[in-house]
């Protein structure tokens, strides 16, 4: 299985980008063809083909991704992971263009098959040994011309391509394939041969006999493990050293199966010294897999420039080093000297061989496509994700023949597993992720373990592709309940991104970049919706503040009119109801400095004066005054939504209350203030209520310096942590509107109230801009607390 993974990696590395390389040459060929064609239709044909080519270029990234998927699917079928039952496929009609595509693919496969006949025959025999060893039925060559032609056809099956452009497309694909297939088939044949799959056999080769290492007069490293020689570890962790000289693993029994076993040989050869510096252990990944020879092609495993398992970058951040020290102290504090079940002493780590990074990566690759239910359950709240990862890797090691009783993870590997586990636990617990998101994250656990093992910059570089993808997925899933079509689309796109990484990640970070680009395109729309949501929240808050301010101002004016002189009941009710509402409306629409506002104030004063005239029994003067006020009173009643007839009826009721000079008159209390939703909300939030605020004035000044766009971390009334951004500062009250990461209002509070929340421990200044950075801060805090306890 590991050899097949390496063949798949070579295939995707050498062939995966071919569709993207065809278009420049095709464009030149189109221009040349039209230039040589003197027909009158030549310009029109050129335009049609160029337009179709332009469409293909727009879909270039999707084509490359689909082509890589199709090539990788051949390996899944070969390993019987996803064998399609063609007998159950529905039959139907296909159009002529699809028939032409398939005919072109068949011609391409026949041409390449004839050209590379000798290499393909050799490869067929070696793959037959692989299927025999794995107990699989004969399956077509996953990298044969037929499979590569089918992968190309299926890549463009949904495109409308003119006949001339289709011929150029297949012609240039055949030409580019011809340039690399020879080297590729040679590498695959060499890899299979060096791994023990020499040729076709009728019976499965016998299992290799494990024997003790051959003594060496000058050992270059520890060889205590009985599995070290069996799996071709080349005699110990000496950087750049090849395997057993002469190209034969010391662990093989030459009499078993004609010395053509199917294990991982350590044939680096004497010439491989220094060529396998990529891994720094036992001749390197390249030496182990048979590529650690001098003069091997650039980019193969074992070369220093290869971006795979061999190039483990040293930590570049002092913070990461400090975090590792805390992690070691935390892990040491959790280790028990005896087994929990029997109390027997645990086997000492020194008696077991440390796994190499490439071995752990191979195990993780074997498990990557399998169901991730065990990780999903660990993320559900048990907090044992690290244990689940170790158990799965140990189980995968056992499948590859590595006995977990005789091997152990190195310190760096333990760090990578623990950091990834703590990272995912923190992400899931602090971002209100739903159950569907838990399964999505569970699928990403092993790919991120592989990234952490091979590239420590994951934890120190904000622009790391895997890190950006995890941030994008968290942004898409956090707080997303799938209640709207847009939210459901985001969840589907995030799930597709995680599935693509699982299906295609094989130590090439480009898959993270591609998946992030596709998800980020949809997130751009989401971010715009969030911005609009925050703008609407700001406008709604500002509207409530203006209304509250207008009501307070109107109540103040009304209270002074009701306090003196004594008023009749009719006038007091008119002032308390219609006139107050009219004042509020004028203040909201035209402001307190407008002419209409002064006219409204004058109306109230004139009614108070009319009531005084009525109390004195001056009927003629009262009639004159009311006739003069009639237009203003009708307008005042109209602002309350009354039509002309209803306004006249209201005027009549008011006049009826004034015509009796001996009607009782008294002082009246101002009506209670209208409840404010913000006041009720702040009463739930502010520590100690709204009447007594305890805060540090210096902290209040820090809060006053907060500008829109700055992030805080708060604890809501339910005790849950909330990331809150300052979205708006009120020009009326200087209060701050805080919204969450989805643009929804969290709190509207003054700087003093924010300072009071800080004093109560419910608010912290500053918040990491990305989910990954925030999770890493929580990991550090968790380790700080754990180390302090130990």
pLDDT by residue (tens digit) across 390-434? 999 999 888 877 888 888 999 999 999 999 999 998 887 766 676
Tell whether 426 and 496 lie within a shared domain: yes
218-241 mean pLDDT: 34
Q: What is the CATH number of the domain that holds 767?
A: 2.30.30.140
Location of structure tokens 């006049």: 655
The token duo for 367 is: 């498990």
Tell whether 693 and 776 lie within a shared domain: yes
CA distance 444 to 153: 30
Tell whether 596 and 654 lie within a shared domain: yes
- Collapsing DSSP to helix, strand or coil, 310 comes out as coil
Domain boundary among 533, 548, 578: 533
Task: Tell me whether residue 89 is in a domain.
Answer: no
- Collapsing DSSP to helix, strand or coil, 153 comes out as helix
Task: State the pLDDT confidence band at 302, using cuts at 50, 70 and 90.
Answer: very low
Location of structure tokens 């006053």: 704
Phi and psi angles of residue 240, each rounded to the nearest 5 degrees, phi first:
80, 0
- Collapsing DSSP to helix, strand or coil, 725 comes out as strand
CA distance 152 to 63: 9
SS3 content of the chain, % helix, strand, coil (to 5): 60, 5, 35
139-152 mean pLDDT: 85
- In contact, 702 and 719? CB cutoff 8 Å: no
Contacts of 308 (CB under 8 A, 6+ apart): 9, 278, 285, 301, 358, 454, 507
Start-to-end Cα distance in the chain? 43
Annotate 352-378 with DSSP letters as a single string.
SEEPPHHHHHHHHHHHHTS--HHHHHI
- In contact, 790 and 328? CB cutoff 8 Å: no
CA distance 393 to 409: 10
Tell whether 472 and 499 lie within a shared domain: yes
252-257 mean pLDDT: 33
**Domain residue limits at 742:** 677-789
Q: What percent of the chain has pLDDT over 90?
A: 12
Location of structure tokens 């990944």: 285
Tell whether 358 and 451 lie within a shared domain: yes
155-165 mean pLDDT: 80
Tell whether 774 and 746 lie within a shared domain: yes
pLDDT score for 131: 77
Task: State the pLDDT confidence band at 497, using cuts at 50, 70 and 90.
Answer: very high
Q: Is the pLDDT of residue 63 over 70?
A: yes
pLDDT score for 692: 63
484-496 mean pLDDT: 88
605: exposed, middle or buried (C-beta count within 10 Å: 0-12, 13-18, 19+)?
Answer: exposed
273-278 mean pLDDT: 35
Task: State the pLDDT confidence band at 275, using cuts at 50, 70 and 90.
Answer: very low
Domain boundary among 639, 666, 693: 666
The token duo for 451 is: 């990234």
301-321 mean pLDDT: 46
Beta-bridged to residue 354, according to DSSP, are: 408
Task: Tell me whether residue 281 is in a domain.
Answer: no
CA distance 402 to 363: 10
pLDDT score for 37: 56
Tell whether 696 and 743 lie within a shared domain: yes
- Check residues 334 and 3 and name the one with the higher pLDDT: 3
Q: What is the pLDDT of residues 22-37, one digit of tens each?
A: 888 887 787 776 565 5
Tell whether 60 and 164 lie within a shared domain: yes
Mean residue pLDDT of the chain comes to 74
Task: Tell me whether residue 170 is in a domain.
Answer: yes
Q: How many domains does the chain have?
A: 4
Q: What angle do CA 407, 413, 419 make, to 5 degrees?
A: 140
Task: Tell me whether residue 273 is in a domain.
Answer: no
pLDDT score for 431: 67
pLDDT score for 483: 82
pLDDT score for 393: 93
Provide the whole-model pTM: 0.51
Task: Tell me whether residue 320 is in a domain.
Answer: no
Q: Is the pLDDT of residue 561 over 70?
A: yes
Domain boundary among 194, 216, 234: 194
Say which DSSP state 579 is in.
I
Tell whether 772 and 701 lie within a shared domain: yes
Tell whether 21 and 111 lie within a shared domain: yes
Q: What is the pLDDT of residues 532-556, one digit of tens each?
A: 888 998 899 889 889 988 999 999 9
Q: What is the pLDDT of residues 199-217, one digit of tens each?
A: 443 333 433 333 333 333 3
C-alpha distances (whole Å) from 674 to each of 150, 540, 551, 638 are 73, 17, 8, 22
Task: Tell me whether residue 581 is in a domain.
Answer: yes
Tell whether 616 and 682 lie within a shared domain: no
CA distance 779 to 426: 7
CA distance 252 to 275: 24
Going by their DSSP bridges, the two strands 353-354 and 407-408 should be labelled as parallel
Task: Tell me whether residue 252 is in a domain.
Answer: no
Say which DSSP state 81 is in.
S
- In contact, 240 and 294? CB cutoff 8 Å: no
Contacts of 628 (CB under 8 A, 6+ apart): none
Task: Tell me whether residue 731 is in a domain.
Answer: yes
Tell whether 569 and 601 lie within a shared domain: yes
510: exposed, middle or buried (C-beta count within 10 Å: 0-12, 13-18, 19+)?
Answer: middle
CA distance 401 to 227: 9
Contacts of 459 (CB under 8 A, 6+ apart): 317, 320, 323, 419, 452, 776
375-395 mean pLDDT: 86
The token duo for 209 is: 């006999």
CA distance 3 to 242: 19
């Amino acid at each position: 299985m590991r050899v097949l993974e390496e063949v798949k990696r070579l295939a995707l590395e050498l062939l995966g980008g071919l569709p993207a390389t065809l278009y420049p040459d095709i464009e030149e060929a189109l221009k040349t063809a039209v230039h040589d064609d003197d027909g009158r239709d030549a310009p029109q044909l050129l335009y049609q083909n160029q337009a179709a080519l332009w469409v293909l270029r727009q879909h270039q990234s999707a084509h490359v991704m689909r082509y890589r998927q199709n090539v990788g699917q051949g390996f899944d079928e070969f390993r019987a992971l996803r064998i399609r039952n063609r007998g159950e496929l529905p039959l139907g009609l296909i159009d002529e263009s699809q028939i032409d595509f398939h005919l072109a693919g068949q011609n391409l496969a026949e041409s390449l098959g004839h050209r590379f006949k000798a290499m393909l025959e050799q490869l067929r025999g070696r793959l037959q040994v692989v299927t025999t060893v794995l107990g699989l039925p004969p399956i077509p060559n996953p990298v044969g011309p037929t499979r590569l032609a089918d992968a190309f056809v299926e890549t463009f099956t949904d495109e409308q391509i003119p006949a001339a452009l289709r011929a150029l497309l297949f012609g240039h694909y055949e030409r580019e394939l011809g340039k690399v297939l020879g080297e590729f088939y040679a590498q695959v044949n060499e890899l299979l041969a060096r791994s023990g799959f020499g040729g076709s056999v009728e019976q499965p080769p016998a299992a290799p006999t494990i024997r003790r290492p051959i003594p060496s007069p000058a050992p270059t490293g520890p060889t205590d493990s009985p599995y070290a020689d069996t799996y071709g570890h080349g005699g110990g962790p000496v950087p750049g050293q090849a395997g057993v000289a002469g190209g034969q693993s010391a662990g093989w029994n030459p009499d078993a199966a004609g010395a053509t076993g199917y294990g991982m040989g350590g044939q680096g050869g004497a010439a491989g010294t220094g060529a396998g510096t990529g891994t720094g252990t036992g001749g390197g990944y390249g030496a182990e897999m048979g590529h650690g020879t001098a003069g091997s092609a650039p980019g193969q495993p074992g070369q220093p420039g290869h971006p795979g398992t061999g190039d483990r970058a040293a930590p570049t951040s002092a913070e990461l080093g400090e975090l590792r020290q805390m992690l070691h102290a935390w892990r040491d504090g959790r280790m028990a000297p005896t087994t929990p079940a029997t109390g027997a002493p645990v086997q000492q780590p020194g008696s077991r061989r440390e796994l190499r990074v490439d071995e752990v990566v191979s195990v993780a690759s074997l498990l990557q496509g399998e169901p991730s239910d065990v990780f999903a359950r660990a993320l559900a709240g048990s907090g044992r994700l690290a244990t689940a990862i170790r158990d799965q890797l140990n189980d995968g090691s056992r499948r590859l023949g590595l006995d977990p009783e005789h091997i152990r993870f190195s310190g760096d590997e333990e760090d990578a597993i623990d950091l990834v586990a703590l990272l995912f636990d923190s992400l899931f617990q602090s971002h209100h992720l739903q159950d569907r998101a838990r399964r999505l994250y569970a699928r990403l656990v092993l790919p991120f373990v592989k990234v952490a093992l091979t590239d420590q910059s994951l934890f120190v570089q904000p622009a790391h592709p895997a890190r950006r993808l995890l941030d994008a997925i968290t942004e898409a899933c956090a707080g997303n309940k799938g209640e709207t079509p847009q939210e459901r689309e985001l969840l589907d796109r995030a799930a597709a991104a995680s599935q693509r990484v699982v299906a295609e990640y094989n130590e090439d970070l480009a898959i993270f970049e591609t998946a992030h680009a596709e998800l980020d395109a949809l997130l751009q729309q989401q971010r715009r919706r969030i911005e609009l949501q925050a703008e609407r929240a700001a406008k709604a808050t500002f509207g409530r503040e203006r209304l509250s301010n207008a009501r307070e101002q109107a109540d103040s004016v009304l209270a002074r009119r009701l306090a003196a002189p004594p008023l009749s009941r009719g006038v007091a009710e008119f002032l308390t109801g219609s006139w107050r509402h009219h004042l509020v409306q004028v203040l909201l629409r035209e402001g307190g400095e407008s002419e209409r506002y002064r006219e409204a104030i004058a109306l109230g004063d004139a009614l108070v004066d009319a009531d005084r005239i009525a109390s004195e029994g001056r009927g003629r003067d009262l009639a004159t005054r009311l006739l003069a006020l009639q237009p203003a009173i009708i307008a005042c009643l109209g602002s309350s939504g009354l039509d002309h007839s209803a306004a006249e009826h209201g005027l009549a009721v008011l006049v009826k209350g004034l015509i009796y000079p001996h009607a009782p008159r008294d002082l009246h209390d101002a009506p209670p203030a209208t409840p404010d939703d913000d006041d009720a909300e702040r009463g739930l939030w502010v520590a100690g209520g709204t009447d007594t605020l305890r805060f540090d004035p210096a902290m209040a000044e820090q809060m006053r310096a907060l500008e829109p766009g700055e992030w805080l971390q708060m604890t809501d009334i339910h005790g849950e942590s909330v990331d809150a951004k300052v979205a708006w500062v009120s020009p009326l009250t200087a209060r701050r509107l805080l919204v969450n990461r989805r643009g929804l209002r969290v709190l509207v509070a003054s700087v003093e109230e924010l300072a009071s929340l800080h004093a109560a421990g419910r608010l912290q200044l500053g918040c990491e801009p990305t989910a990954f950075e925030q999770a890493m801060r929580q990991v550090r805090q968790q380790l700080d607390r754990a180390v302090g306890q130990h």
